[in-house]
Chains A and B, each alone.
Chain A
């Protein structure tokens, strides 16, 4: 019995080592995890021009960009890039990672992540802290600065360094039903709620701040000064809290939770909702000829019209500093953010371009979606702060919004509740 046990143990040990060996050799073949240290070696570059160096690049992007039915944008662009660069013979490996997931997924293990990936700019600090995104330099930076508005360049800059090639703006605006609201109506939210039903995702912190910012509240001054903190205090903020209490009490205001806004647009019971380009196709289908999209309206506080301001950001293509073919990776990132690629992205998936030349073209600039998103970005938005202290904002905002919606916050305690919200937003956890 003992003997058989020993034999079994031996057998198991053997299988395990064999398994390991097999895996090990496999990893050598397909290793996509570059070792840091020999980044962008100029010597390699010289050789590669002659030989057409064989390299592998891992590229991560959302699954829509890799779907044949939606134009296969990412693989198509990568192949084009390969053709345009005879100095490299690139084998691409693709992975699925939405722009919103990149922060978590790439920083989980930057050494085993994509060489080139797309991210939403609010995750830039997470990525920098994990050493998962490389500073760009040289001509790439010049090109980015030349072809994008300053706001967009700032959205991917930290301490003056640029960390990605922006390819689209990321914000929210208003969709409305033209048969319910006129173009004059949609300029003011209060006019709108007196005429028809409006859905707004109030208890979503991404949207919530727009009211406070309208009345002069600030987040980290211009969004980049971490020491300044969030200023949602004082009379200006209390006025907004009071405004919101009245707004929520209005029967024509619907808090847009669980898709209530979209359902209302579909059956005609709601005339306007606030969302972004990701809902464009659904809204277009629901409203047909009555489709309208426009920048944010104003709100009337103490008799004055104040402009609501959305959080805006960008989506950018980042390069992994652990990638061993830095030059190729940076060149690919630049190419994926080039006007040509943005144009293709717009054609295949209506991804609104951010390249200034492209935006000036007639085919692009007359599109309702592009107009709404860009007007919002240019006129009625602030850059969503991505300083680390911003982390506490989100829950504090949701709590306040829920308090307003369920009636815990009243005109009587508005000042007190606004103060405690402001304190919570500036609570650094100590």
Chain B
């Protein structure tokens, strides 16, 4: 009997060791590119290529250059542009997504099913397919020059977001209707049910929507390029980072490019850390009623 338990323990231990080794290897594979970019951003040697894999010496100059050498590539300005756009997009598209999802989940109207199908089909097309059309429409309403470029970008990133209601709608469907009905009996309007019952119970999905919509402007390159064109004052970080890798700049700017990539992750990380507690809070206490 005793012997059996030890062998069981030993077996368990070997399995655990194997699993942990595997996890460690996978972790290294996944984390390493990110660590490497962070290391490059502190690399003191210049140029895009070095003979050694790891930097030989470290410096903060890349970050300093990124934020002070603004004569050719004005990174701080691009960063602020993107931040402003991202904040607006985040607010607007979160509202859109939640409103559309609520309607689709709770209201019953004639075109509901058809609308959902249309949305599904439209969602199958890649967004950049309409890129040139979007550009000409924005130009026709006078949003393609000067400071209106920012407005144009905010519109481009947020206007279509209502179509992405599927996940949030699925979530709303899981909230018992009984809760809504109870609120209606107490005299609540549909809007009050939405704000006082549905929203407080949907924190995880709101966090998800906020994060994805905040990410959009930081990651998108193609719309920003088509809409900004020669308006360098309104470039977003994606264009800036792309330009750093052009043949004229790459030798001087490669390490700054890595520094820029690290900087971009900061606002996203802050937002995520701030919001992640709501992921957990989400459904606790929801279905009690």
Contacts and interface: CB of A to CB of B under 8 A. Distances in A.
Interface string B230-244: 111000000000000
A108 B47 contact: no
Contacts of A113: 229-230
A70 B71 CA distance: 8
Interface stretch (B7-15, B18-26, B57-65, B137-145): B137-145
B142 A24 contact: yes
A259 B251 contact: yes
Contacts of B47: 259, 262-263, 266, 282
A319 interface: no
Contacts of A108: 132, 135, 226, 229
Contacts of B145: 27, 30, 32, 112
Contact of A23 (B48, B72, B142, B232): B142
A67 B73 CA distance: 10
Contacts of B284: none
B186 interface: no
A98 interface: yes
Contacts of B144: 112
B230 A105 contact: yes
Contact of A269 (B51, B141, B226, B250): B51
Interface in A59-81: 60, 62-64, 67-70
Interface string B209-239: 0000000000000000010011110000000
7 tightest CB-CB pairs across the interface, nearest first?
A: A95-B230, A259-B48, A96-B232, A23-B142, A259-B49, A67-B71, A27-B142
A267 B142 CA distance: 53
Nearest to B230: A95
Contacts of B51: 263-264, 267, 269
Contact of A263 (B49, B136, B226, B247): B49
B136 to A, nearest CB: 8
B65 to A, nearest CB: 13
B77 interface: no
Main secondary structure of the interface of B (DSSP, over half): loop
Contacts, number: 89
A302 interface: no
A32 B231 CA distance: 13
Nearest to B231: A95
A221 interface: no
Given A258-B49, A260-B49, A26 B139 contact: no
A279 interface: yes
A96 B230 contact: yes
Is the interface on chain A under 10, 10 to 19, 20 to 34, or 35 or more residues? 35 or more
A23 B230 contact: no
A20 interface: yes
A266 B71 contact: no
Given A26-B142, A259-B48, A279-B251, A98 B71 contact: no
Contacts of B73: 63
Contacts of A97: 229-230
Nearest to A64: B72
Interface string B126-150: 0000001001100101111110100
B165 interface: no
Given A70-B72, A95-B231, 15 more contacts: A1-B190, A24-B142, A67-B71, A95-B229, A98-B248, A105-B230, A108-B226, A108-B229, A109-B135, A113-B229, A258-B48, A259-B250, A259-B251, A262-B48, A264-B51
Nearest to A257: B49
Contacts of A112: 139, 144-145
Contacts of B226: 108
Interface in A223-249: none
Q: Give the most central of B135, B144, B247: most A CB within 10 Å.
A: B247
A26 B250 CA distance: 38
Interface in A269-286: 269, 278-279, 282
Interface string A356-382: 000000000000000000000000000
B50 interface: yes
Interface in B61-113: 71-73
Interface in B128-177: 132, 135-136, 139, 141-146, 148
Nearest to A276: B247
9 contacts: A23-B142, A70-B71, A96-B231, A96-B232, A97-B229, A262-B48, A263-B48, A263-B49, A266-B45
B231 to A, nearest CB: 7
Contact of B71 (A69, A260, A267): A69
A62 B143 CA distance: 23
A293 interface: no
Interface string A72-109: 00000000000000000000000111101000010011
Contacts of B248: 62, 64, 98, 278
A390 B13 CA distance: 65
B251 A60 contact: no
